[in-house]
Amino acid sequence: MRLRFGEETEAFRREFLVWLEENRPTEAEMQADPAMSSAHVPPWASRWAKRLFDAGWLIPGFPPERGGRNAGTIEQMVYQEEFARSGVPRTTNPQGLSIIAPTLLDVGTEAQKQELAVPIMRGDVAACLGMSEPEAGSDLASLQTRAVADGDDFVVTGRKIWTSGAHHADICFCFVRTDPTAPKKHQGISVLIIPMDTPGISCRPLPSLTGEDDADFNEVLFEDVRVPRSNLVGELGAGWSLANNALAHERGMLWIGHASALDSSFEVLLEQVRARGRIDPSEADELVSLYMDAQAVRCMGYRGVSKLAGGKPSPEHSILKLVGSESIRRLCRLGMENLGEQAIDSSQQAAIESGKMSWAVRYLFSFSGTIAGGTSEIQRNIVAERVLGLPR
């Protein structure tokens, strides 16, 4: 399904598509030096970030000096849609571009804006996000990593986990407890910028389900790590509101990635089923149900964005992440089941699907979308409380 928007919006779309076609990195560049993690920025990715920034296509909603062109909400949506469809990565440091740099621009000091936020956006500095800990994932407010004031420094001790790309990052945007005596656990949390080459930091990349070569997750240990006070982001103790605001950046557009992944995987699955020439009734049921869900995600996404553009709240967005990520998981499972034992044969899959991922690998990856940025269970809690108004 492809709805058309007003002429100005369509002109904006065309302008972006023409620019993208003329400026995108080549497949050869990307394949010769692939990004190894969420904070690995190979030279082509750094050049790409600068091209996007200078042309105002990095974060179109921002002003030109911040890599944008003051685009409106609908235009930003069209841009995200076309980027997702193009298959070109917008960045190889997603946490840096979409969460950390915008937060520094919101609340950072002038030095943090100039020396960190802009270099992150331009692909010169790579950033990782230190939120989760072994006992504090969904319940972030339980985090235990301590930062104790000592002269002009904080001394940080603790352990983070699932830190994407930490082993390649230059800095960590790290949530720490600065006041363990605060009456409520979400109080007394602050954010520090911690250079990853500071003595006392060690990263332990964690093997992923899909193989050891593509480690992205890390356990990061901080042992008496000295961090200058000037590396505090925002106010002391403002970590909880920073966490909420940080994750809100671009949240309104996250569904577009899910909607595009659903569309493209659905096409691959349809081709596969047609090529096999047979489908059993329960598979057909699930396929049709997934098709309807994919259409619903896009329509609900459009409705949510149009509410946001009109300055209204959009409860749709709590539902979109849940339905989008769960539908992708169902679709990957169906793709795998439909192929049977061939699903784990990547050479067979490559023939079907332009050589990228087998259904088995897609299926393993599909779990991450239902966990990262808030698990499905937590999303259901949010929908129950904030959308349906159910008692806790």
**Which position's Cβ is nearest ligand FAD?**
137
Whose Cβ is closer to ligand FAD: residue 258's or residue 298's? 258
Whose Cβ is closer to ligand FAD: residue 91's or residue 132's? 132
User: Cα 67 from chain centroid?
Assistant: 19
Tokens 């830190």, located at residue: 163
Minimum CB separation of residue 84 from ligand FAD in Å reads 17
Minimum CB separation of residue 173 from ligand FAD in Å reads 9
For residue 111, give the 3-state DSSP assignment: helix
**Binding status of residue 162 toward ligand FAD by CB under 6 A:** yes
Minimum CB separation of residue 375 from ligand FAD in Å reads 3
Minimum CB separation of residue 25 from ligand FAD in Å reads 24
The binder of ligand FAD chosen from 377, 385, 387, 390 (CB under 6 A): 377
Tokens 């079907």, located at residue: 352
Query: Which of these segments, 128-136, 225-233, 244-252, 269-277, binds ligand FAD (CB under 6 A)?
Result: 128-136
Supply the DSSP string of 363-387, one letter for each residue. Answer: HHHHHHHTTTTS-HHHHHHHIIIII
Q: Among this protein's residues, is 22 annotated catalytic?
A: no
Helix (H) and strand (E) counts for the chain? 15, 8
Q: What whole-number distance in Å separates Cα of residue 170 and Cα of residue 147?
A: 20
For residue 313, the one-letter residue type is P
Side-chain-side CA neighbours of 276 within 13 Å: the count stands at: 17
The binder of ligand FAD chosen from 73, 86, 295, 375 (CB under 6 A): 375
Long-range CB pairs of 42-48, under 8 A, 24+ apart, other chains included: 42/92, 45/89, 45/91, 45/92, 45/93, 45/123, 46/122, 46/123, 46/124, 47/123, 48/24, 48/123
User: Which residues in the 299-358 window bind ligand FAD by CB under 6 A?
Assistant: none
Q: What whole-number distance in Å separates Cα of residue 155 and Cα of residue 389?
A: 43
Size of the site for ligand FAD (CB under 6 A): 18
| Catalytic residue selected from 250, 283, 286, 337 | 250
Is residue 77 within 8 A of residue 9, CB to CB? The reply is no
Q: What whole-number distance in Å separates Cα of residue 20 and Cα of residue 14?
A: 10
Minimum CB separation of residue 363 from ligand FAD in Å reads 15
Whose Cβ is closer to ligand FAD: residue 80's or residue 218's? 218
**Binding status of residue 88 toward ligand FAD by CB under 6 A:** no
Whose Cβ is closer to ligand FAD: residue 55's or residue 371's? 371
**Binding status of residue 9 toward ligand FAD by CB under 6 A:** no
Minimum CB separation of residue 299 from ligand FAD in Å reads 27
Q: What whole-number distance in Å separates Cα of residue 119 and Cα of residue 123?
A: 6
Is residue 250 within 8 A of residue 305, CB to CB? The reply is no
Minimum CB separation of residue 129 from ligand FAD in Å reads 4
Query: Which of these segments, 67-75, 160-168, 248-256, 324-332, binds ligand FAD (CB under 6 A)?
Result: 160-168
Whose Cβ is closer to ligand FAD: residue 91's or residue 163's? 163
Q: Which residues contact 114 (CB under 8 A, 6 or more apart)?
A: none
**Binding status of residue 137 toward ligand FAD by CB under 6 A:** yes
Query: Which of these segments, 104-112, 131-139, 204-212, 339-347, binds ligand FAD (CB under 6 A)?
Result: 131-139
Please provide residue 215's backbone torsions phi and psi, each rounded to the nearest 5 degrees: -60, 130
The two tokens of residue 170 are 């230059």
Tokens 């890599």, located at residue: 67
**Binding status of residue 371 toward ligand FAD by CB under 6 A:** yes
**Binding status of residue 163 toward ligand FAD by CB under 6 A:** yes
Catalytic residue ranges: 250
Where does this chain bind ligand FAD (CB under 6 A)? 95, 128-132, 137-138, 162-164, 368, 371-372, 375, 377-378, 381
